[in-house]
Structure 1
């Protein structure tokens, strides 16, 4: 779907170049229940469990402790700006809640020491845990509601895009292709006379060369912003819109009370990797390199090996049941071994439960014309080689479990890009080869984002985003989202 807005209150053209019917009204269009729901959930989610647990375990001052803990939780959340209009509904990750909860524990530990409170620490920790879970659930609920609203172009910021036609086309197309952000394009002002191809309304045009009077630029931009009701002016700099010309335009836009944003030309770079500095009047963006060594990488290795070992131990009864079902369902071995490429293009033998007939690889060439993937991978929604038991295993992703052996051996990770076949790697270009900069994973962004329903370009983009922006906490988040993806089963075939 594409999302491009127009200024009036009538319906938006829903042709492929324009998007959905909607009238964006700004971030104030967020549902009014977000704030009271967050406040009530946070306060009651701490106060009620603390009061109940302290009373049931005969801890001193249960009511006072409950009120103090709830007040401290609200203060921590307020100090970290979780209740602002901009923050409400914007985060689905539970990691930020965990960080806030850890701060709460520290605050309450200090209060406990100052007041000489004598409650049992383990009981207090138990009583505070429901608050963590309820706040996380509330944030996920508001996030999903906000996403649904933005699919209809509500709770968004109306932006006016300025730049040379090719740059403006790129910005509009990128923003219109997805709905998981707060921006809707209501118009564009190209620099020069070339035509736009993105379908955004052309609100005005700026001269190719910087005008003698800056008011020529600012007048056109401010008039268009007022007529379109733009909440933000977004500039895509280029040879004809940079330096002093951009500086003077920013003065005029800010003096008119309109926020301005400048596109730095970076894509899929996490904010944490960007540092802003200045030198000799120049604004510099420092980009930190991807994490390839250090404490976080060591933690990932420990988590991989420990998780794989525990998983194999706990799942051994399930392995036995699956093995029996495979042997009863069709002739052939229980396990399927296949050569895949891992980190730095090193080949290894990947293990899976067999889900196809034994001559599946020999029959693959005759099915080449039925390939439903638009890239280097082979995918068929109704692959005739898959057995009845195999379809069930694939639907639940149980066929992937033997890859825990590969994780334990250090050939794979719990989280990472999908391990490719040798024939796929043989056709990789330099960009696709970057997928192999890290260990392939048992799960990854590709699995929690649609699996086989994704196009090759979408899969590659997700993998590169993971490779470049990986952190230990992002792995934890992906593993938490994997459970839902497995239960949902979309794209598993």
Structure 2
């Protein structure tokens, strides 16, 4: 088990929330203990606030000293106003809310929205008071805060996630539902520790676990669904997760919500549509009933146009930036065996249209002919053909594959419009011939150079998991998700995990 670093211990502490003790179900206690914020939560939030404040003050003080008026004096009034606008916008936009810190893109979305609001306020204040010399503060100071604040938030999050991988800084969770859905939830919390959920107890309709035992996935069954509120009162759980079960009626869920009032526990209800999330889900009240509205995924329209333009501009910029690297790799491949630099392969793109994908050649010249002799050793999942130690890969090719440098020429595919920077994995025609209906939905959008499959394990993923991640991207796509995947791709590529 990995131990937290000294920085991590100072920031989030080393205590692990003990699993809530299970009590026999009986009459509700007279006093309902409220789940208080744990010490590590208080320290982490304080570190985030302190980081934002320090970054803001450093930038505005530096700006005041560097930006001088016509008489050569610093703009102390402008600096004070800019700092005040930023430090007021952050709490007003709930950028310091405990519920968003440490997980998901919402934290960064609120931070960005706060800085945007602060910039607009500073600009409007300049117009209102006739101070037209506020432009440097709007276009330089506020963006400078963003340049420092976003990486700092990300760094703090990595410290928290490292502690969670070691089993620290977790939220105790009690879950209730059917054994099948509870097992799925338990497995997900164990594989995605960065969320910070630790299922400590479960409740089922019968009070029994899997196959008539008293546990599910190693977690003890605390009782029946009707016992859930009592367990929360006595155990001090932070999260109450409700998964699907025929026994959950609207009346039961409403009563549970009432019973949890005052406990401080967060009630989380997993919808039947488990893989649909993000901007497509909205809750609204109709006819006095809470309805979960699921909007259709968008494959056309303004946002897709923005994505296409951003893809092409981004590809052009990356080609210019990596030009010397592309030339150097091409020279190494040519010197290695005097063969062609590029490998062209037919892939299937949007709406099933085929296109030629370009990669740096990483295998020997007759690699396609040798493939048939290696089929018996295939380690790939589903229709994929993969070998961890493929004898056809050259020495130069092994290095290129480990760090995904062989995929850089795909930037020209993006520039030409057949691929996207972020999207599902581009399949081979032979693979799509065996696609089931669910997998074929991947073809509704352009394939990408990177995607959720790239940042979640690459070749180490099973076929089913790869399809699930691609479908999740297709269903829940957003520009914010693209940015998050691009950022995570840098880490995945640097580590070389799952690449062969």
Q: TM over 0.5: same fold?
A: yes
- Classify the secondary structure of the residue corresponding to 1:290: coil
Distance 1:466 1:81, change over 3 A: same
Q: Is the 8 A contact 1:4 1:185 kept in 2?
A: no
Task: Tell me the distance in 2 between the aligned counterparts of 1:233 and 1:432.
Answer: 33
Partner of 1:383: 390
Q: Is the counterpart of residue 135 in structure 1 residue 154 in structure 2?
A: no
Q: How does 1:15-164 map to 2 (within 5 A)?
A: 27-30=37-40, 32-59=42-69, 61-91=74-104, 94-119=108-133, 121-122=135-136, 124-164=138-178
Q: Is the 8 A contact 1:187 1:200 kept in 2?
A: yes
- Classify the secondary structure of the residue corresponding to 1:364: helix
316-325 vs 457-466, greater mean Cα deviation: 316-325
Q: Is the 8 A contact 1:291 1:471 kept in 2?
A: no
Task: Tell me the distance in 2 between the aligned counterparts of 1:80 and 1:156.
Answer: 26
Report the alpha carbon displacement of residue 159 of structure 1 after superposing the two structures with TM: 2.4
Report the alpha carbon displacement of residue 480 of structure 1 after superposing the two structures with TM: 3.1
Out of 324, 330, 335, the residue aligned to residue 328 of structure 1 is 335
Report the alpha carbon displacement of residue 383 of structure 1 after superposing the two structures with TM: 1.4
In structure 1, the gaps of 5 or more residues are 10-24, 207-216
Partner of 1:195: 209
Out of 293, 297, 305, the residue aligned to residue 300 of structure 2 is 293
Task: Tell me the distance in 2 between the aligned counterparts of 1:32 and 1:233.
Answer: 21
60-69 vs 414-423, greater mean Cα deviation: 60-69
Report the alpha carbon displacement of residue 138 of structure 1 after superposing the two structures with TM: 1.9
Distance 1:411 1:162, change over 3 A: same
Distance 1:258 1:83, change over 3 A: closer
Report the alpha carbon displacement of residue 350 of structure 1 after superposing the two structures with TM: 1.1
* Aligned residues: CA RMSD: 2.8
Report the alpha carbon displacement of residue 403 of structure 1 after superposing the two structures with TM: 1.6
TM-score (norm 2): 0.84
Q: Is the 8 A contact 2:93 2:113 kept in 1?
A: no
Task: Tell me the distance in 1 between the aligned counterparts of 2:175 and 2:489.
Answer: 37
- Classify the secondary structure of the residue corresponding to 2:82: helix
Q: Is the 8 A contact 1:27 1:86 kept in 2?
A: no
Out of 453, 460, 467, the residue aligned to residue 446 of structure 1 is 453
TM-score (norm 1): 0.85
Distance 1:112 1:260, change over 3 A: same
Out of 394, 403, 421, the residue aligned to residue 428 of structure 2 is 421
Task: Tell me the distance in 2 between the aligned counterparts of 1:456 and 1:254.
Answer: 43
Distance 1:234 1:459, change over 3 A: same
Out of 337, 346, 359, the residue aligned to residue 339 of structure 1 is 346
Q: Over residues 10-51 of structure 1, what are the superposed CA-to-partner deviations in whole Å (9 max), with x where a residue is unaligned?
A: xxxxxxxxxxxxxxx975243544334333332332333333
Out of 283, 304, 313, the residue aligned to residue 306 of structure 1 is 313
Partner of 1:212: none
Report the alpha carbon displacement of residue 468 of structure 1 after superposing the two structures with TM: 0.7
Distance 1:64 1:351, change over 3 A: same
Q: Is the 8 A contact 2:17 2:172 kept in 1?
A: no
- Classify the secondary structure of the residue corresponding to 1:304: helix
Task: Tell me the distance in 1 between the aligned counterparts of 2:280 and 2:405.
Answer: 36
Partner of 1:209: none
Q: Over residues 62-88 of structure 1, what are the superposed CA-to-partner deviations in whole Å (9 max), with x where a residue is unaligned?
A: 333323222221111010112233333
Distance 1:136 1:258, change over 3 A: closer
Partner of 1:168: 182
Q: Over residues 248-272 of structure 1, what are the superposed CA-to-partner deviations in whole Å (9 max), with x where a residue is unaligned?
A: 3433333766543322222232232
Q: Is the 8 A contact 2:103 2:194 kept in 1?
A: no
- Classify the secondary structure of the residue corresponding to 1:160: strand
Distance 1:223 1:33, change over 3 A: closer
Q: Is the 8 A contact 2:90 2:111 kept in 1?
A: no
Distance 1:244 1:479, change over 3 A: closer
Out of 469, 476, 479, the residue aligned to residue 469 of structure 1 is 476
Report the alpha carbon displacement of residue 227 of structure 1 after superposing the two structures with TM: 4.1
243-252 vs 266-275, greater mean Cα deviation: 243-252
Partner of 1:455: 462
Q: Is the counterpart of residue 395 in structure 1 residue 402 in structure 2?
A: yes
Report the alpha carbon displacement of residue 223 of structure 1 after superposing the two structures with TM: 3.4
Task: Tell me the distance in 2 between the aligned counterparts of 1:4 and 1:265.
Answer: 30
Task: Tell me the distance in 1 between the aligned counterparts of 2:145 and 2:59.
Answer: 8
In structure 2, the gaps of 5 or more residues are 2-15, 23-34, 211-215
Task: Tell me the distance in 2 between the aligned counterparts of 1:76 and 1:123.
Answer: 16
Report the alpha carbon displacement of residue 315 of structure 1 after superposing the two structures with TM: 4.2
- Classify the secondary structure of the residue corresponding to 1:357: coil
Q: Over residues 152-186 of structure 1, what are the superposed CA-to-partner deviations in whole Å (9 max), with x where a residue is unaligned?
A: 44433322222233333333333343212232222
- The count of residues paired between Structure 1 and Structure 2 equals 465
Q: Is the 8 A contact 1:26 1:158 kept in 2?
A: no
Task: Tell me the distance in 1 between the aligned counterparts of 2:347 and 2:280.
Answer: 31
Distance 1:29 1:170, change over 3 A: same
Report the alpha carbon displacement of residue 237 of structure 1 after superposing the two structures with TM: 4.2
